Structure 1
Amino acid sequence: MEQERQHQGRENSGWCSQVKLWSGLVISIVLLSSCFIVSCVATYHFTYGKSSRRLSELHTSHSSLTCFSEGTGVTEKNWECCPSTWKSFGSSCYLISTERNFWAQSEQNCVAMGAHLVVINSEAEQNFIVQQLNESLSYFLGLSDLQGNGNWQWIDQTPYKDNVRLWHQHEPNFSAEECASIVFWSSRGWGWNDVFCDTNRNSICEMKKVYL
Structure 2
Amino acid sequence: MMNGQGRVSPGSAAPAEERGCTWLNIWVFLIFALATKAAFVTLCLWLVLPLCHSSDQPSALQQQFSEWECDSAVPQGTDRSWTCCPKGWRRFQGSCYFLSLDKMNFAESAQNCSGMGSQLVVISSKAEQEFLSEQTKQPPKRVNVYIGLFAKKVGQWQWVDKTPYNVTAAFWREGEPNYFPGENCTVIHVPTEPPNNWNDIGSDLENHRICEAAAVIV
Please say which structure displays the higher CA radius of gyration: 1
Q: CA deviation at 1:185?
A: 3.8
1:163 deviates by 5.8
Query: Aligned match of 2:159 in 141, 149, 154?
Result: 154
- Aligned partners of 1:51, 1:66: CA distance in 2, in Å? 19
**What does residue 180 of structure 1 align with?**
186
Q: Which runs of 5+ in 2 are unaligned?
A: 1-51
- Displacement, 1:194? 0.2
Determine helix, strand or coil for the equivalent of 1:206.
strand
More helix by share: 1
Cα distance in 1, alignment partners of residues 146 and 131 from structure 2: 16
Structure 1: give runs of 5+ residues left out of the alignment: 1-47
Q: 1:44-100 deviations in whole A, cap 9, x for unaligned?
A: xxxx77535235x434311211222137xxx95532111011000011000101110
1-structure distance, mates of 2:88, 2:56: 20
2:150 is aligned to: 144
Q: Secondary structure at the match of 1:131?
A: helix
Equivalent residue pairs, number = 159
Aligned match for 1:51, one of 33, 55, 65: 55
TM-score (norm 1): 0.68
* Cα separation, partners in 2 of 1:67 and 1:189, compared to 1, 3 Å: closer
Identify the residue that residue 205 of structure 2 maps to in structure 1.
199
Which residue among 124, 128, 145 is the counterpart of 1:125?
128
Q: Secondary structure at the residue paired with 2:88?
A: coil
**Distance across 2 between alignment mates of 1:182 and 1:77:** 34
Residue 53 of structure 2 contacts residue 216 of structure 2 at CA under 8 Å; is this kept in 1?
no
1:166 aligns with 2:171: yes
Among 93, 98, 102, which residue is 1:99 paired with?
102
* 1:108-136: CA deviation from partner (whole Å, max 9, x where unpaired): 00000110001111111111112211364
CA contact (8 A) 2:145 2:190 kept: no
Identity across matched positions, percent:
37
SS in 2 for 1:157: coil
1:82 equivalent in alignment to 2:88:
no
Describe the SS at the equivalent of 1:51: coil
Q: What TM-score results when the alignment is normalised by the length of structure 2?
A: 0.66
CA RMSD of the aligned region, Å?
A: 2.3
Q: Which residue of 1 aligns with 2:112?
A: 109
Rate the CA distance shift 1:111–1:151 in 2: closer, same or farther, 3 A: same
